[in-house]
Structure formats: structure tokens, C-alpha cells
């Protein structure tokens, strides 16, 4: 997957950037109004975007645009020696608890190259913004496994969390 990040929140500008993709492009705007995100599989990154190529690690539930108009993106940098444990926690405990919420449709973990350690991005597909306030999310962050990982300074508080809302879906 390719992700292109921009500071633009103007729909026409975002769609002009997405025109550089080949195939489907999903255009999203940050909920805080601070930028946008374009998801695509192929294309030549336009100027003025931060482009990243991400490789799949694991996924569960529904993960395409049909799963919902919201993406909650969590950026996770972890030391290399903890990659296996964090992935297992996400896939076998945290994620399944989140998916108990009807509005939490799926999640996909992707990896970007990093100079050291591992840079993971988890794209959570939400049918409704309210899923972020669900009892399931609260419960998923209050387990013995979560608390054991949370003792590390790189875990949880250091994660980047951004909420995006889809504004258009284009095919080229």
C-alpha cells in the first residue's frame, strides 16, 4: 500500500493529488483539520506529499473502503526485539476485543522501513466515530498483557494516533 500525506484539506486539491495514483485511491481528511491522507496501491507520488510504501503484516475483519468511512491510524515504533510480542498482542488480544464493537469493522497492520527498530501502522476501519469511545476499546486497553507492555516508554503514550474521515473514493 502507498500512503500520501498532505497538509491540504481542500477536496479539489486532495483529488488532484490522488489523480497521480493508478487504480483506486481513497481520499481522507484528518478529523482535526490538519491534513489529509490518500491510500492507493500504485502511482507516482506528487510533489508536496510525504509518501510511504507500507508492507502488510497482518489483518482481521473488513479492511476495504466498504468497511466504513473512518480510519483510525495508529503509528507504532517498537524496538526490533519486541516486534513479535506487540504483533501477537495486537492480533490475538487487542484486535479481537476491538472487533466485538459493532462499529469497529477491521484493522490492518502495515510496516514501513525504519533505520532501527520497526515502524508499524495499524489502520482501524470504523463504521462510526463513536467506536473510539466504546466499552470494548476501554477493555482492550486494560488487560494484564497491555499493562505489561505499557511499562516500556515506547509503548502506548508514544504512539501516534490520528483519526481520518473519507471524503472521496476515486478510480483511475
- Domain range annotation of the chain: 2-171
Cell numbers for 20, please give them: 497521480
Q: What is the largest CA-CA distance in the chain?
A: 47
Question: In angstroms, rounded to a whole number, what is the distance separating the alpha carbons of residues 5 and 36?
Answer: 6
| Rg value, the chain, Cα | 16
Assigned C-alpha cell, 23: 487504480
User: The C-alpha cell of 43 is what?
Assistant: 502511482
**Is the predicted pLDDT of residue 98 greater than 90, yes or no?**
yes
pTM value is: 0.95
For domain 2-171, give the fold. Alpha-Beta Plaits (3.30.70)
Quote the pLDDT of residue 13: 96
Mean pLDDT of the chain: 96
Nearest C-alpha neighbor of 172 from the set 10, 13, 16: 16
- Termini Cα distance of the chain: 16
**Distance between CA atoms of 149 and 124, rounded to whole angstroms?**
20
Report which DSSP code applies to 31.
T
The whole-number pLDDT of residue 15 equals 96
Rounded Cα distance between 64 and 78, Å, is: 26
CA neighbor of 72 nearest in space, from 155, 138, 132, 134: 132
Q: State yes or no: pLDDT of 171 exceeds 90.
A: no
Residue 114, Cβ neighbours under 10 Å: how many? 12
pLDDT tens-place string over residues 7-54: 999 999 999 999 999 999 999 999 999 999 999 999 999 998 999 999
Q: Are strands 55-61 and 160-171 parallel, antiparallel or unpaired?
A: unpaired
| Angle 9-127-100 from CA coordinates, rounded to 5° | 140
Given a contact cutoff of 8 angstroms between Cβ atoms, the answer to whether 112 and 53 are in contact is yes
User: What pLDDT score does 113 carry?
Assistant: 87
Strands 2-6 and 50-53: antiparallel
Amino acid at each position: 500500500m502507498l500512503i500520501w500525506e498532505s497538509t491540504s484539506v481542500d477536496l479539489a486539491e486532495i483529488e488532484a493529488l490522488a489523480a497521480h495514483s493508478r487504480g483506486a485511491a481513497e481520499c481522507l481528511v484528518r478529523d482535526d483539520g490538519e491534513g489529509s491522507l490518500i491510500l492507493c496501491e500504485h502511482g507516482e507520488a506528487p510533489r508536496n506529499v510525504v509518501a510511504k510504501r507500507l508492507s502488510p503484516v497482518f489483518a482481521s475483519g473488513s479492511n476495504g473502503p466498504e468497511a466504513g468511512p473512518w480510519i483510525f491510524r495508529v503509528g507504532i515504533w517498537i524496538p526490533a526485539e519486541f516486534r513479535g510480542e506487540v504483533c501477537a498482542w495486537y492480533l490475538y488480544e487487542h484486535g479481537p476485543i476491538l472487533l466485538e464493537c459493532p462499529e469497529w469493522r477491521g484493522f490492518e497492520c502495515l510496516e514501513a522501513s525504519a533505520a532501527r527498530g520497526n515502524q508499524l501502522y495499524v489502520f482501524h476501519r470504523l463504521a462510526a466515530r463513536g467506536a473510539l469511545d466504546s466499552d470494548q476499546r476501554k477493555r482492550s486497553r486494560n488487560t494484564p498483557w497491555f499493562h505489561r507492555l505499557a511499562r516500556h516508554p515506547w509503548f502506548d503514550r508514544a504512539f501516534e494516533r490520528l483519526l481520518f474521515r473519507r471524503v472521496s473514493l476515486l478510480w483511475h
